């Protein structure tokens, strides 16, 4: 089978050779859904290749974290889903002989470089939309194992979806080639279906009530309205008294619901563009149990994010490595906690309100919202009915006594107009003595406490210069 991303084949082969030559490898990965799937893919590939390794996670790869990684007794360090942006610091350790770095990342590289560096941006492939960290890890796994790695394509798709790399509801670019390998391997199915979150696990009324993708008056955020809508359909939507899930419906039943939902949306003035968003490409993991969070790429990525936001990367990794039982139970409990905290966080933002300025809008949660979920809450707030979507939103959360976490979220429409939040976060944070980065539509930073206003001013200037 040909390489999934031919542009990266030479770099992937070089990185694979470096790993084979290592006495032992420390796998260091980012701790979000993309980072966890990256680690899962890389760890599985190393294990299959007979390469001894350990795994560590980090929320933010700064100089202190890199020094801690260097203190481990491994001659080679494989960085997944981060490392490119920290190459200046990594290169210093390499020059001192602390370790040989191998990097599989998709973030903007720093000025320094290293011999074993797998990053789509270095070969003209868009790392923000076309290949995630998990995708880069998958390309490396294929170089290590050839066709024996194709079953890992499903995890790579979970990582890409979790990294918000879908465009108009579906993956694009190199991610498509990886998904096709997953389909060919029999571990993944792609289909056009209702593009709402929770099709595997949410009872139908909750699926429609909580759907934030498209606001349908009388159904979205309306429990009784959603139930009345479903009760009015000529479909048996109950199973022994309980509501069925979308996953349990057959093709004809789904068609009936979608048709009625589209008619209701159009009748209530929902725009044609929004109505088409109701249907998109879904990514189903065929080896996972139907009706569970792991069956759907979007729900799987949310489960992993829940473990990451509460510093339980070990749990998320165990699930990615195929462990079920206790690890999956723990992940589900973390997800329940995560959802409760998100709901409380969003309610707080709605109650306190968002400060709207010319080029951005912002809120400061202080210690009322965990700094690890401020970005998710900001994204949810941006999609809320009473928050403007014509400018990015910035959320602040207390990180410690000296630092504040900053998270920014935009929309695809703003990105199409020139918005690049990775640049905004990097430039604005560095102007006040902090550091940051990320992607065009979602990025983060850490800044000194007390510098929030100066940060906002710098961010607003950068946004104004970007957006047409």
Rounded Cα distance, 308 and 36, in Å: 8
Cα 289 to Cα 36, 293, 418: the distances in Å are: 20, 9, 41
Structure tokens at 451: 């510098």
The pLDDT of 75-79, averaged and rounded, is 97
The DSSP symbol for 246 reads: G
Q: Give percent above pLDDT 90 in the chain.
A: 73
Per-residue pLDDT, 369: 92
Residue 239 has pLDDT above 90, yes or no: no
Burial of 124 by CB count in 10 Å (0-12 exposed, 13-18 middle, 19+ buried)? exposed
Alpha-carbon torsion 267, 270, 276, 277, what sign? Answer: negative
Q: Angle at CA 213, nearest 5°, toward 212 and 217?
A: 65
Written as one string, the DSSP assignment of 101-160 is EEEE--SPP-S---SSEE-GGGGT--TTTT--HHHHHHHHHHHHHGGGGGGGHHHHHHHH
Please state the pTM of the whole predicted model: 0.85
Neighbours of 214 (CB within 10 A): 20
pLDDT tens per residue, range 401-437 = 899 999 999 988 898 899 999 999 999 999 999 988 8
Rounded Cα distance, 315 and 406, in Å: 26
Pairing relation of β-strands 100-104 and 355-356? Answer: unpaired
Rounded Cα distance, 371 and 367, in Å: 8
- Report all structural domains of the chain as residue ranges with CATH numbers, in order of start: 6-188 (3.90.1640.30), 194-340 (no CATH), 353-466 (3.10.310.40)
Q: Which DSSP helix (H) or strand (E) runs through 57?
A: strand 53-58
pLDDT tens per residue, range 187-238 = 999 999 988 889 999 999 999 988 877 888 889 888 899 999 998 898 888 8
Per-residue pLDDT, 385: 64
């Amino acid at each position: 089978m040909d390489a999934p991303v031919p542009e990266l084949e030479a770099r992937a082969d070089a990185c694979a050779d470096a790993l084979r030559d290592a006495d032992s490898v420390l796998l260091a990965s980012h701790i979000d859904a993309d980072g966890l799937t990256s680690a899962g893919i890389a760890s599985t590939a190393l294990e299959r290749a007979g390469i001894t390794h350990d795994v560590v996670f980090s929320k933010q790869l700064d100089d202190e974290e890199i020094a801690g990684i260097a203190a481990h007794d491994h001659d080679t360090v494989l960085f997944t889903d981060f490392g490119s942006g920290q190459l200046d610091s990594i290169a210093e350790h390499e020059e001192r002989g602390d370790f040989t770095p191998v990097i599989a990342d998709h973030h903007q590289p720093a000025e320094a470089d290293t011999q074993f560096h797998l990053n789509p941006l270095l070969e003209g492939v868009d790392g923000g939309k076309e290949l995630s960290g998990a995708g880069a890890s998958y390309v490396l796994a294929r170089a290590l194992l050839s066709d024996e790695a194709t079953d890992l394509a499903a995890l790579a798709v979970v990582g890409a979806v979790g990294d918000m790399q879908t465009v108009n509801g579906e993956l694009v670019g190199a991610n498509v080639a990886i998904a096709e390998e997953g389909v060919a391997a029999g571990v993944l199915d792609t289909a056009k279906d209702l593009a709402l979150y929770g099709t595997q696990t949410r009872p139908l009324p909750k699926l429609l009530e909580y759907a934030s993708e498209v606001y349908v008056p009388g159904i979205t955020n309306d429990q009784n309205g959603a139930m009345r809508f479903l009760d009015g359909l000529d479909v048996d939507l109950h199973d022994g008294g309980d509501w069925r899930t979308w996953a349990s419906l057959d093709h004809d039943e789904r068609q009936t619901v979608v048709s009625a939902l589209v008619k209701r949306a159009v009748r209530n003035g929902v725009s044609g563009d929004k109505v088409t968003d109701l249907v998109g490409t879904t990514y189903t993991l065929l080896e996972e149990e139907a009706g569970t969070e792991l069956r759907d790429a979007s729900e799987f990525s949310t489960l992993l994010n829940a473990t990451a936001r509460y510093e339980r990367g070990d749990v998320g990794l165990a699930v990615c490595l195929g462990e079920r039982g206790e690890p999956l139970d723990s992940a589900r409990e973390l997800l329940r906690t995560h959802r409760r905290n998100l709901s409380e966080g969003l309610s707080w933002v709605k109650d306190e309100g968002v400060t709207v300025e010319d080029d951005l809008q912002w809120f400061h949660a202080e210690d009322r919202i965990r700094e690890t979920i401020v970005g998710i809450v900001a994204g949810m707030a941006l999609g809320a009915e009473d928050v403007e979507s014509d400018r990015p939103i910035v959320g602040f959360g207390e990180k410690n006594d000296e630092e504040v976490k900053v998270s920014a979220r935009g929309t695809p429409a703003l990105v199409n107009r020139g918005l690049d939040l990775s640049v905004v976060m990097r430039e604005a944070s560095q102007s006040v003595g902090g550091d940051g980065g990320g992607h065009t539509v979602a990025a983060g930073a850490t800044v000194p406490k007390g510098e929030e206003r100066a940060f906002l001013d710098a961010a607003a200037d950068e946004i104004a210069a970007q957006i047409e």
